[in-house]
Amino acid sequence: MCKTCSRWLTVLFIMVLTRTVIAAKPADTIVISNLLEKASAAIFHEDSALIYSREALRLSKEASLDNFISLSLQRIGDYYLQKEVYGKATEYYLEALKIEELRDDKLRIANLGLSMAFVYFIMEEFSISMDYYQKALAVYTSEKDSLNLARVLRGIGKLHDVREFCEPRDSLQKKNDFKTAISYFKQSAEISKKIDYADGYYLASLNIGNTLRKLEKPAEGLPYIIKAVDYLRGTQKHENLFAALRTLGICYANMGRFDKAISCYYECVGLSEKFNMKAGIQYLYEDMANVFDKAGQYKNARDYYIKYMILRDSVYNAEKSKQLFELERKYQSEKKEKEILKLKLSKKRQNLFMVALVFLALLIALMALHFIRQYRNKRIIAEQENKINRQIISELEKEKQLVATHAVLAGEESERRRLARDLHDGLGSLLTGLKLKLANMKGNYILDEENRADFGNALTMLDSAVSELRRVAHNLMPEALIRYGLKDALEDFCTNIETADVKVIFRFYGNFSRVGQKIETASFRIVQELVNNALKHAGAAQIIVQMVQDDNRLSLSVQDNGKGFDKNMVEKSNTVGLHSVKSRVASLNGMIDIYSEEGKGTEISIEFSY
């Protein structure tokens, strides 16, 4: 039976066994935790990690356990991340992030932020990745989470270490990037040592050594790398040991110690074969080809470069093709000299050999052209996939922002209703009662003329306070909006806000009907904000509020004959009032149109479909 069939039968058995256990025992946190632990343990090597994670998600949803739903989504995201399906991974991470933001679990938000930072690190988006890292760093610092603080510092250092692949960097900038990376690695190593986090300390040491090598200081970086390799040999973390040995080999190669480098590379090959590790093996073969070439072992160089080419399934660019041809030429030249010395071939055979060599060179050139064309096609496909992934991530983040805006606006309206009710029913009743008591006192006590006048003034001021209180409560949540709908509420608002200097006119066209409470409330607040802005800033003599309604569309406009403004300047400044209006319109998928010209007034139109 083939290995693939055996693996899928094993996975099927695990799935059936898991469902049998779950059916026999009620879902609880112990079962879900065990499934997530199994998924985490299998994440690097087995597709069963996805089955465990999805089963944990199903049980968590059945039990309505938000924290375990979030953890299960993160495990599924981790699985797709290992499979390099970055769009899917991001989708699950963001779904988990929404749950944690509602739960306001800062540490979980920071942990998911680290995963997002790594996705953007892979996609070579430096600024976005750094933003996620910095947010996580702030949380871990605030929470004094030393373990994760060491991890995030190492991640930021690695981001600076590879910044040259994310954006153009000159030699001085790259040197500064490497120095910055070392600074973060040293901070991570110091914290790891303080909390006895051995893995973190030695991985940071490995990174320090590798970055010193990039700064052309391989001898200075070598002790750091050797220290990490010695530690990792005593652990079961074979992937980390593989990476450390490869780094050590590169460092030895930079120092010209080719035998040492080759020994490290062979140990990497042994680890790969023993533990079936395929990730990154093609780059190891490329390193081995380069070091054999420098050591003058051209046959080995050629063999390992061909292994690299076969594993990568394409030649990446013309430079790679040229390198393959050069290795082939060196190998054939060496072979030719040995044959001449050993066999003393005749001139005819030499000519035949040269013809064969030319034919081979032409064949290699044709293959190179084919591989280059194939590489170009794959690069175009990869760029399109990256574009789609970025678009998916952007849409998911917009959706998250829209949900947050809905929550803020709903909370704001709820608070307005509560304040209006408290002011009207509580403080309003107290002031009215106080007025009645004072009126009774005025009739029951004998006052002289001066005190009677003061008493009368006090009652008048109390009347004004009650009226002002009712006006404030009405603005917070108009009674007409709740009872009769948007048309009557806007008409009352325009009538009440009109002043001796500014005439406010309300016009309605169409067939009035009640729409959803969210649209009515948002529409009223938008008109209220726009009219207040016109009164404060426009210097207008007349403001016209217009409402048009039909079966599935609501249109509102506020027009004034004031001084107008430069639309571009106002939109760039993004004032609080305009930002509030745009947020409300966007939260209901509406459209907004602003027309204004200096000296010719302003008209702002909003439209909702329902």
- Tell me what the mean pLDDT of segment 560-583 comes to: 75
603: three-class secondary structure by DSSP: strand
User: What CATH number matches the domain at 484-609, 3.30.565.10, 1.10.10.10, 3.20.20.80, 3.30.930.10?
Assistant: 3.30.565.10
- Name the CA dihedral angle for 585, 109, 383, 323, rounded to a multiple of 10 degrees: 160
pLDDT band at 422 (very low <50, low <70, confident <90, very high): low
Tell me the CA distances in angstroms from 598 to 194, 594, 595, one per residue in order: 65, 13, 10
**Window from 35-44, 124-133, 335-344, 493-502 with minimum mean pLDDT:** 335-344
Structure token pair of residue 187 = 């901070």
Nearest CA-CA partner of 330 in 350, 300, 286: 300
Structure tokens given for 447: 């006052």
- List Cβ neighbours of 601 (8 Å cut-off, separation of 6 or more): 538, 540, 559, 560, 561, 562, 563, 564
Residues belonging to the chain:
610
- What's the mean pLDDT in 522-527? 87
Helices (H) and strands (E) in the chain, counts: 24, 5
Q: Checking phi first, is residue 168 left (phi over 0); if not, alpha (psi -120 to 50) or beta?
A: beta
Sort 112 into a burial class: Cβ within 10 Å, 0-12 / 13-18 / 19+: buried
What sign results for the dihedral spanned by CA atoms 96, 101, 103, 105?
positive
Predicted pLDDT at 217: 94
CB contact at 8 A, 171 and 181:
no
Q: What angle do CA 50, 56, 61 make, to 5 degrees?
A: 125
pLDDT at 202: 92
Nearest CA to 251 among 237, 240, 241, 265?
265
The rounded radius of gyration (Å) of the Cα atoms in the chain is 37
Contact 552, 598 (CB under 8 A): no
What confidence score (pLDDT) does residue 501 get? 86
Calculate mean pLDDT across residues 363-368: 86
Identify any residues that bridge with 508 across adjacent strands, giving them in sequence order. 547
HSE-CB of 444 using CA atoms within 13 angstroms = 6
Domain locations along the chain: 1-104, 377-477, 484-609
Query: What are residue 595's DSSP bridge partners?
Result: 603
Q: What is the DSSP letter of 196?
A: T
Angle subtended at Cα 511 by Cα 510 and Cα 512, rounded to the nearest 5 degrees: 115
Phi, psi angle pair for 439, to nearest 5°: -65, -40
The SS3 assignment for 539 reads coil
d(CA 555, CA 548): 5
The confidence band for 495, taking pLDDT boundaries of 50, 70 and 90, is confident
542, 561 contact by CB (below 8 A): yes
Indicate yes or no: pTM above 0.85.
no
* 65 close to 94: Cβ distance less than 8 angstroms: no
Say which amino acid occupies 321.
Answer: S
Model confidence at 511, in pLDDT bands (50, 70, 90)?
confident
Question: Of all helices (H) and strands (E), which one includes residue 227?
Answer: helix 218-233
How many C-beta neighbours within 10 Å does residue 281 have? 19
Q: Which of 543, 532, 526 is nearest to 486 (CA)?
A: 526
Q: Are 535 and 574 contacting, i.e. CB atoms less than 8 angstroms apart?
A: no
Alpha helix stretches (DSSP H) within 83-197: 86-103, 106-122, 126-143, 146-161, 171-194
pLDDT band at 320 (very low <50, low <70, confident <90, very high): very low
- 125, 166 contact by CB (below 8 A): yes
How far apart are the C-alpha atoms of 93 and 73, rounded to whole Å? 7
Residue predicted with more confidence, 431 or 493: 493
Q: Give the helix, strand, coil percentages of the chain, each rounded to 5.
A: 75, 5, 15
Query: What confidence score (pLDDT) does residue 22 get?
Result: 41
Q: Is 509 helix (H, G, I), strand (E, B) or coil?
A: strand
Contact 156, 163 (CB under 8 A): no
pLDDT band at 403 (very low <50, low <70, confident <90, very high): low
The SS3 assignment for 505 reads strand
Q: What is the dihedral of CA 91, 94, 95, 96, to 10 degrees?
A: 130
Does the pLDDT of residue 120 top 80, yes or no?
yes
Q: How far apart are CA 532 and CA 65, in angstroms?
A: 46
For residues 39 and 53, is the Cβ–Cβ distance under 8 A?
yes
Helices within 344-427 (DSSP H only): 347-421
Tokens for 262? 């080759």
**In the structure, what pLDDT confidence band is assigned to residue 1 with cuts at 50, 70 and 90?**
very low
Q: What is the pLDDT of residue 430?
A: 57
Identify the three-state secondary structure at position 337.
helix
Is the Cβ–Cβ distance between 188 and 153 less than 8 Å?
Answer: yes
The CA-based angle 232-237-238, given to 5 degrees, is 90
Distance of CA 83 to the CA centre of its chain: 18
435 falls in which pLDDT band (50, 70, 90)? Answer: low
Confidence of residue 328 (pLDDT cuts 50, 70, 90): very low
Which architecture characterizes domain 1-104 according to CATH?
Answer: Alpha Horseshoe (1.25)
Structure token pair of residue 149:
């603080």
| Residue 16 buriedness (CB in 10 A; 0-12 / 13-18 / 19+) | exposed
Distance CA 123, CA 394 (A): 14
Q: Is the pLDDT of residue 110 over 60?
A: yes
Q: What CA dihedral angle connects 256, 260, 263 and 269, to 10 degrees?
A: -50
Residue 564 has pLDDT above 50, yes or no: yes
Would you place residue 345 in the very low, low, confident or very high pLDDT band (cuts 50, 70, 90)? low
d(CA 79, CA 275): 19
The mean per-residue pLDDT over the stretch 54-69 comes to 91
